[in-house]
Amino acid sequence: MATGSINVSVENIFPLIKKFLYSDHEIFLRELISNATDATTKLKHLTTIGEAKVEYGNPIIEVKIDKDAKTLTIKDQGIGMTGEEVEKYINQVAFSGAEEFLEKYKDSAKDAGIIGHFGLGFYSAFMVAEKVEILTKSYKEDAKAVRWVCDGSPEYTLEETEKTDRGTEIVLHIAEDSTEFLEEFRIRELLTKYNKFNQVPIKFGTKKETLPLPEGSAEDAKPETVEVDNIINNTNPAWTKSPSELKDEDYNNFYRELYPMQFEEPLFHIHLNVDYPFNLTGILFFPKLGNNLNIEKDKIQLYQNQVFVTDEVKGIVPDFLMLLRGVIDSPDIPLNVSRSYLQADGAVKKISSYITKKVADKMVSLINENREDYEKKWNDIKIVIEYGMISEDKFYEKSDKFALYPTTDNNYYLWNELIEKIKPTQTDKDGKIVILYANNADEQHSYIQSAKEKGYEVLLLDSPIVPHLIQKLEASKENIAFARVDADHINNLIKKDEPKISKLNDSDKETLKKEIEESINDTKFTVQLEDLDSTDAPFTLTQPEFFRRMKDM
Ligand code: ADP
Ligand code: MG
């Protein structure tokens, strides 16, 4: 038996680990499962290139709770480690990793918001365990199995042990203050949160499965139930597949897999897939939003190689995308760092501007593919687009191709179409094009009507961010002005048509006037044959202001 001491520059790193990672103890499981997954993936690679002369088979990772022994075990069938490798990877890496951690984060760790998003890989096990055992056997020929034990002090033991199967078993002796991790529901919760889409199947207990009755069975035959592995993850989620393999239905199914509590189907999806200049895959969904600007948690989830990192994506993806749902997966999103680090990270910034561009491109193709369908969905997606337009310049620059401006008559114009349409009728005396809009079709009904009677188009812009959008448009587009349909100056803004001059000669006018006056026989009204506004009527009856007020009293 060999004993040794993990050489760290402080007396005992484990109290430090506990302290710094306090708010996020639960990530230990993700870390250990990630290591087990890596060990399995490495073996797959080595067998593929012929370096490992073993049968790869169908390896799984198993998570087991032993309540009596107070242990939680993570067992894999991956490459395993020789005694030397344990010395090298577990003992030494822990040393440097710990040193780096202490060096790098001793200042920022003061900031409570950052804590809890650090990870220390293997050593995060000591956040919940008072003693950790590693039982491992390398895939290498003649490798002897070894057992490493460490109780949280810098002392460890390493000895040969009995283990016949290849792979590694990490046994956590759960500490008194962490017994929640001996509860089945808690572990299931963690597996669902972090490892729902893990690359290697994860077994957690067993479940009963009913076998279908063989054909021709007797009517009263009882179907047979068998005990099968309870695999908690889907190793092949939709975003890892190529868009050409997937139908709309597959995307909708995946949406439900991601958000089991969402019953409404998404309106659109965007499949992200890039391998240069960085790797990124993912699927974003447009839910039905209406005018709802609530940015809630857990809409977009960040993954790194199919391992959940975070759903707190503020500062990582542009705000307007936080209205969407879906998954973004990139190996360039570091797993083991704080959120403030992520926000400042160059790779993450690039990812964010790539996604913005991708969403803009998708909008262009959606509107071009099926304008009618896009118009139908506009009211449910506009908030995302408008938010993107006011907050991301790159997105705004492209928005003329996909942002719609609906009228109160349900016409949906692109910017250029709108301008084209209203230019002849809605140019004011200074040559400015006046865009009339309403923000509440009911309240502004009569104003909308009278504007329409004059032949004007009235936009219906009713989302809560419209004032900002208008500001942005007015600041960047030449020669236009927005005017609310009930603003009292709209008549000055828009050039009135020349008043219509009666085509009748003076004596005809006299005769006509007399005839009308006689037939209505009411002195309240005046017959007007000139200055006919824009109507095509040959005369207008007007009622003096005085009589009108009398009537209203
Ligand atoms: P990282 O995973 O970032 O390398 P860790 O502290 O999580 O850091 O793990 C340290 C090293 O220990 C790994 O790189 C790997 O070489 C080894 N290791 C940990 N767990 C396993 C395992 N289940 N099977 C084989 N090797 C492992
Ligand atoms: Mg690791």
0.80 exceeded by pTM? no
With a cut of 90, say whether residue 341 has pLDDT above it. no
Instruction: Identify which of 30, 31, 35 to mutate to test ligand 1's pocket (most ligand atoms within 8 A of the CB).
Output: 35
Residue 537 reports pLDDT greater than 70:
no
Q: CA end-to-end span of the chain, whole Å?
A: 107
- What band does 356 get if pLDDT is binned at 50, 70 and 90? very high
Instruction: Report whether residue 90 contacts ligand 1, using a CB cutoff of 6 Å.
Output: yes
Contact 49, 36 (CB under 8 A): no
Residue 112 has pLDDT above 70, yes or no: no
For residue 155, the model assigns a pLDDT of: 82
Q: Is the pLDDT of residue 151 over 60?
A: yes
Integer angstrom CA distances of residue 226 from 205, 208, 212: 14, 6, 11
SS (H, E, C) 38-105: HHHHHHHHHHHCCCCCCCCCCCCEEEEEECCCCEEEEECCCCCCCHHHHHHHHHHHHHHHHHHHHHHH
Check whether 329 has a pLDDT greater than 60.
Answer: yes
Q: Which residues pair with 240 in a beta bridge?
A: none
Tell me the pLDDT tens digit for each residue of 470-500: 999 999 999 999 999 887 666 666 655 555 5
Q: Is the pLDDT of residue 233 over 80?
A: yes
Residue with CA nearest ligand 1 atom 1: 121
Q: Is 79 in the pocket of ligand 1 (CB under 6 A)?
A: yes
96 in a known ligand binding site: yes
Residue 74 tokens, joined = 């993570």
CB-proximal residues (5 Å) to ion ligand 2: 35, 121
473 touches ligand 1 (CB under 6 Å): no
Two structure tokens written together for 546: 């005085």
- Over the stretch 295-320, which tens digit does the pLDDT of each residue have? 565 588 988 889 898 888 877 788 89
Annotated binding-site residue? 168? yes
Q: Are 360 and 324 a contacting pair, CB within 8 Å?
A: no
* Percent of the chain surpassing pLDDT 70: 80
Q: Is 326 in the pocket of ligand 1 (CB under 6 A)?
A: no
pLDDT at residue 530, as a whole number: 67
* DSSP state letters, 313-328: -BTTB-GGGGGSEEEE
Residue 208, SS3 per DSSP: strand
- In angstroms, what is the span from residue 89 Cα to ligand 1's centroid? 7
Q: How many whole angstroms separate alpha carbon 55 and alpha carbon 43?
A: 10
Model confidence at 109, pLDDT cuts 50, 70, 90, reads very low
* ipTM summary value: 0.99
- Rounded CA separation 227/115 (Å): 42
Question: What whole-number percentage of the chain has pLDDT above 90?
Answer: 47
Residue 90 CB burial class (10 angstroms; 0-12, 13-18, ≥19): buried
